[in-house]
Structure 1
Amino acid sequence: MELTFGQGQVFTSERLNKYPILASIFRKTFGYSNVGNYARFTIFKKLVKGIELPETGNFLDLGTGYGEYALSLASALPKAKIHALDIDQSRINAVQSAIESLTVENIKTHRIKIEYTDLEMLDFIFTIDVFEHIAPEEMPFSECYKKLKPGGYFLVKIPSKIQRTIFPERLFEEHHEWLEDEHIGQVYELEGLSQRFKDEGFNVIHASYSDGWLSRLGWETAYLGKKIGILGQLITLPLAKIMIHLDRIIHHNKWGNAIQVIGQKPL
């Protein structure tokens, strides 16, 4: 199974939607333009390789956003059924537009909380950088446990509670203010997230850190380049992606700005 990323961006991005010809040229030249999402996908791709996903499985992208992970899985596993769930109607509209434009037939969208769906016996549920936006007591661990079939997998990736930066933090004040409002659930380090899985009844089969110094440098470089303008973004985007890939090669599992845990529902 080979996962590719960014198929839907030209259809879900308002800016790229306005200029389809330029968007196509940009994508062919520079690839996916959101460095944060690109970095997340490199981790997702690596983690999924360690899970035995059935070709005809039933999967849920919980908090799908613009649906990039769902679209990637749908393309790699055309016989599988992919569910893309989000409570934001505008996001679901964007995903639905991408599905129709790409003529994808194995994704179903849901704008509803997971506990109110009729989904059951799922093989795999994953949520990528979503739970940090939810208060810990409202994170749907138990609901996911119920929706999985015995032996099914649950993957959670979130930013770790403690973040390390490279450039002076004053350069990211605007971003930090946004984090304070949005990341109410950024409360776990790796041990704590693993324990949450165990408390909810899962067997933890994987727990790791990601996004070390090089990945952080890549993100900070791209963030500052984007603040300069389109030229700054174009210059820093390839450099940031190179640093992210180097980080995936040399980073050791001792610390990281992101954490990810995979739990399995007992048979």
Structure 2
Amino acid sequence: MSKIEYDPVKDKFSAIIKNSRVLRRIFYFLLDLFFLRSWHIRRMIKRAGEALDQKGEWKLLDAGCGFGQYDRFILSCFDNVTVDSVDVKKDYLRDNEHYFEDEIKRGEVQFYYADLLQFDADKTFDMAICIDVLEHIEEDVRVMENISKHLKHGGYFLMHSPSHYSEEDGDEDDSFVGEHARPGYSKEEISDKLKQAGLEPKRVHYTYGFWGHKAWVLSVKWPMIWFNKLGLFAAIPLLIYYPVVMPFCLLMNLADLYTKNEKGNGIYALARKA
């Protein structure tokens, strides 16, 4: 089986949605619905952000914003936050600037190019998120150090990545590891690297456990294989496939959200700057 890749599929969707606000809203909804990591991350952002929002104005850094999915959630969830959203993909940044035009004018969010290995800013942040980014960067501790330097004392850092258990997901050619600098993190490894960066881990948790992984295979992995092989023509069989499997996938995602997974193919860590 040929190697599955996220980026070509993401780029195809980006080309479709970039000029339509309606399609982009639908796309955000589908990302939040299908990708279990979004269930976990949105819950953790809300928990950490509620206390910050009650104190008044605060700043958040989205380190590797991609399509701006979490920026939309953050701006809709909190009243007092302003967001700096950075990425190395300039086309994604341009598309985000188009979609968030009104929010940019109100000063709620700004998008700009930044290489996280060289990241520097003239401000500090109350919280930073780095979702499915670190696994792509060899010098991951350096990135975490750069972000940590710009966090206020007591500021939150939230990351998500594949875990080292993702290596167990079948044959290497049947994985997304080709796009990664490493297969994934263990709890011990990510905790140690966070400490090296001056961050104190508060909660480290495996995602995509027994139930979540099964949901991912049905709702994401197999459709990705079809999209890689068939392109947008895959949408035709998926119109029949998804109504059948999605109710079961959603229930399995919910089970993963409230299960203390001893292992899982993903991992998140919430840390605070000492």
Shorter-chain TM-score above 0.5: yes
Q: Any idea what SS the aligned residue of 1:140 has? A: helix
Per the alignment, residue 256 of structure 1 pairs with 264
Write out aligned runs for 1:177-188 (5 A): 179-188=176-185
* Bigger RCO (CA 8 Å, 6+ sep): 2
What residue identity is the alignment partner of 1:230? A
* Corresponding residue for residue 60 of structure 1: 61
- Given that 2:200 and 2:271 are in contact with CA atoms closer than 8 Å, whether structure 1 keeps it comes out as yes
Matches within 5 A, 1:235-254: 235-236=241-242, 238-239=246-247, 240-249=249-258, 251-254=259-262
Aligned residues: 245
2:103, 2:109 within 8 Å by CA — same for their partners in 1? no
In structure 1, the residue corresponding to 2:35 is in which secondary structure? helix
CA–CA distance in structure 1, aligned partners of residues 216 and 130 of structure 2:
21
Structure 2, unaligned stretches of length 5 or more?
A: 1-9
Alignment partner of 1:70 is 2:54: no
Give the TM-score taking structure 1 as reference length: 0.79
Residue from 208, 233, 239 that aligns with 2:238:
233
Summarize the Cα distance change of 1:15–1:56 in structure 2 as closer, same or farther, 3 Å threshold.
same
Report if the CA contact (8 A) 1:225-1:232 is conserved: no
Aligned pairs (5 A) from 1:64-143? 64-100=65-101, 105=106, 106-114=108-116, 115-136=118-139, 139-143=142-146
> For the residues of structure 1 that align with 2:195 and 2:28, how far apart are their CA atoms?
39
Find the aligned partners of 1:37 and 1:61 in 2 and give their Cα distance.
21
User: How big is each residue's C-alpha offset from its partner over 1:229-261, in whole Å with a ceiling of 9 and x where there is no partner?
Assistant: 224433327343332123213x22311111111
Higher helix share: 2
Deviations 1:70-111 (A, max 9, x none): 121112224311011001101111111110277773110110
Between the two proteins, what is the percent identity of the paired residues? 20
- For residues 187 and 165 of structure 1, the distance between their equivalents in structure 2, rounded to whole angstroms, comes to 11
Further displaced range: 66-75 or 109-118: 109-118
Q: How does 1:116-195 map to 2 (within 5 A)?
A: 116-136=119-139, 139-163=142-166, 169=170, 173=173, 175-176=174-175, 179-195=176-192
Structure 2 counterpart of 1:6 = none
Aligned equivalents of 2:127, 2:103: Cα separation in 1: 24
1:180 Cα deviation after fit: 3.5
Task: Name the amino acid aligned to 2:242.
Answer: T
CA deviation vs aligned residue, 1:204-228 (integer Å, no higher than 9, x gap): 2111111112211111112324518
